[in-house]
Structure 1
Amino acid sequence: MTSEIAVIGEALVDVVEGGETHPGGSPMNIAVGLARLGHPTTLHARIGADAHGDLIRAHLDEAGVTLGSDTLVTGATSTAIARVDADGKASYEFDIDWDIPVPDVTGARLVHTGSIGALREPGASAVRAALAAADPGTLRTLDPNIRPDVIGGRDEVLRRVADLAALCPVVKLSDEDAAWLAPDATLDEVLADLAAHGARFVVVTRGSEGCLALVDGVRFTRPARPVVVADTIGAGDAFMSGLLHALLRDGTDRLLATGEPVPEDAVLASLETALLSAALTVARAGANPPTTAELDEALRASRE
């Protein structure tokens, strides 16, 4: 049975200084977030036959994420050493192998990719091929989640991002991603450039300042939800899974996939949901996105 959503990208283990280990990787976090929100989701990744791989598989199984047919391999599972500063902000040092066959995403309603998986060769070429081969009615989405140390040369990465933006109507990035992609440009200019390559719904997250979006040429800004931050691990991923959940929930994904106009209220509803998903995640430790019940309760409370 084909899952509603296919996610392609890295699954790894975050090794937090001090010895704690947690399943991680932006695409994997997004797959877990979508599954927790009730969407049948398949993850196409590279998970090794070791203790770290066992940890990831247990985490995915608990969330209800299905593994793509070529995801389990005999090699080692990729890792990221996570360092959290006094403000709760995380930085990473990666040891990753990203060599995968082209995933079969036939029949998926939505295909998401991002981060190292979308930009690091040799797997990046397989990801692009899968997106290009997706069914005409499949919505394709991207979160570049730039990791400069492990994705290759700058010019090459810029070409890949532009190429993927031409394939993906929905692109989400952080203000840090935007600063790396175009150091001398404003956020509005970065959004406009991605839109010029073909993306219709482009949004940039700005941490405690909320988000800025450009949808079919219309600019939107939304404030962040006030929250006491435990740490920011998985915040952007929870925003993305919340955003995709809202697009699917409201049928907005069909409008984006078929080129129809997206109403303003649908844009605002998707951004509100994404911001609440991120707020719930940063309020607790680690990449721990909300369930449907938690997100729906927060949405109800925000509207009272």
Structure 2
Amino acid sequence: MRREPPARPSPVTVLGECVADAFTEPADGASDALTLRVLAGGGPANTAVALARLGTPARFLARLGDDVFGRLFRRRLEDSGVDLSAAVRAAEPSTLAVAELDAAGQAAYSFHAEGTADWQWTRAELDAVPLDGVTCVHTGSLALVREPGGTVVEEFLARAARAGATVSIDPNVRPLLVPPAVYRERLPAWCRLADVLRLSEDDLALLLPGRTPEAACDEWHAAGVPLVVITLGERGALASLDGERVTVPAPPVRVVDTVGAGDSFTAGLLHHLGVQGALGGRPDGLTISEVADACAFAARVAALTCSVAGPNPPRADRLGEPTAPARPGG
């Protein structure tokens, strides 16, 4: 039996990296120079920011350096209302990604990530994080595969699942830093841990080359994850709940760039599920109709992110309507 919707969205804990996204721009009057415009990014950080801006209480578990980028990250997160009380003040430098946008607004990245703060999680740091009352933990991207911290993060997810939290994972494959084979090797374990697996069609092509989205969903359900959502860019998203499927269209939008769109989609999905009272443990009472509603909301959040430059997700008042449809009878 499904619980009643909470009085406010269920809180979500996000674990992962912050990355300084440096966008290249021509330098005025110089053919042999570039200007870098630096924005605070990183997939998990973007998701935490988007959740908080939508009205979900979001706690971010991060290792934040005390360099110029680390201070930039902290300002952005705090200004968006993200709870940093459990963040670690790290001695290591911050991660830098240099992004070049193509004509369609798609970003190609080069990473400067050796020895940086994001991957140095220790068991003691995460064991100190309380999980009492936590309804959802989301993670993904490089935090799950970069060592020495990746294994410790997986252990934390297992502890969260035992504590009754819904576990959400976004692989967000970064082949320039970690070979796709590493993700493929660890993906079955993630499917056993996760209640929600959200990934892009680009991730799918790297993880299961030549496989259709429907076949991939069936394989991941068999490995243990009940809800799989594959975003398809301008074609919307395919959601599969234990094999029952629905396709949700993407809203029309004038794309400035697509940076952070997938992270915003994940935030919109979790926010909507939280508003519906569907977070907290396995999604046993969830229906495909509720999943479709959540994905439609998430697609709107992602579209608004694409309509502005950089990973700048919208606040709730930009959506122009309530964050979730009313439930029958109440």
TM-score class, shorter-chain normalisation, is over 0.9
TM value normalised by structure 1: 0.92
The structure 2 residue matched to 1:7, chosen from 5, 8, 14, is: 14
Give 1:106's aligned residue: 131
Q: Which amino acid aligns with 2:306?
A: V
Aligned to 1:269: 293
Q: CA deviation at 1:258?
A: 3.7
Q: Distance in 2 between matches of 1:66 and 1:280?
A: 24
CA distance in 1: counterparts of 2:323 and 2:168, whole angstroms = 24
Which residue of 157, 161, 173 corresponds with 1:146? 173
- Cα deviation, 1:145-165, whole Å, max 9, x if unaligned, reads 1001212x4433212122111
1:64 equivalent in structure 2: 81
Which shifted more, 67-76 or 117-126? 67-76
Residue pair 1:105, 1:130 contacting (<8 A) in 2 also: no
CA change 1:49–1:190 in 2 (3 A) is same
Unaligned runs of 5+ in 1: none
* Structural mapping, 1:273-288, within 5 Å: 273-288=297-312
Q: What stretches of structure 1 move > 4 A for 4+ residues in a row?
A: none
Residues 259 and 84 (structure 1), Cα distance of their counterparts in 2 relative to 1, 3 Å cut:
closer
How far has the Cα of 1:32 moved from its partner?
A: 0.4
* Distance in 2 (alpha carbons) for counterparts of 1:240 and 1:154: 21
Partner of 1:78: 95
Shift in CA distance, 299/60, structure 1 to aligned 2, threshold 3 Å: closer
1:27-61 deviations in Å (ceiling 9; x for gaps): 00000011111122221122211111111111011
Contact in 1 for aligned 2:195/2:282 (Cα 8 Å): no
Equivalent residue for 1:201?
Answer: 227
| Contact 1:47 1:78 (C-alpha < 8 Å) held by counterparts | no
Q: Please give the secondary structure, in 1, of the residue aligned with 2:176.
A: helix
Written as runs of structure 1 = structure 2, the 5 A alignment for 1:229-244 is: 229-244=255-270
Contact 2:64 2:87 in 1 (8 A): no
Structure with greater helix percent: 1
Note the C-alpha offset of 1:205.
0.5
Q: CA deviation at 1:67?
A: 2.0
Identity of aligned residues (%): 37
Partner Cα distance (2:169, 2:189) in 1: 11
Measured in 1, the distance between the counterparts of 2:288 and 2:191 equals 22
> Which letter maps to 1:178?
L
Distance 1:204 1:298, change over 3 A: same
Post-superposition shift, 1:294? 1.7
Larger radius of gyration: 2
The aligned counterpart of 1:54 is: 71
The answer to whether the aligner puts 1:120 opposite 2:137 as a matched pair is no
* TM-score, normalisation: structure 2: 0.85
3-state SS in 1 of match to 2:321: helix
Q: RMSD across aligned C-alpha pairs, in angstroms?
A: 1.7
Unpaired runs of 5+ residues, structure 2, are 1-9, 26-35, 325-330
Distance 1:259 1:16, change over 3 A: closer
Q: Deviations over 1:62-95 (max 9, x none)?
A: 0111225352212211111111111111111111
What is the SS of the residue equivalent to 2:90? coil
Q: In the alignment, which residue of structure 1 is the partner of 2:23?
A: 16
Distance of aligned partners of 1:154 and 1:235 in 2 relative to their CA distance in 1, 3 Å threshold:
closer
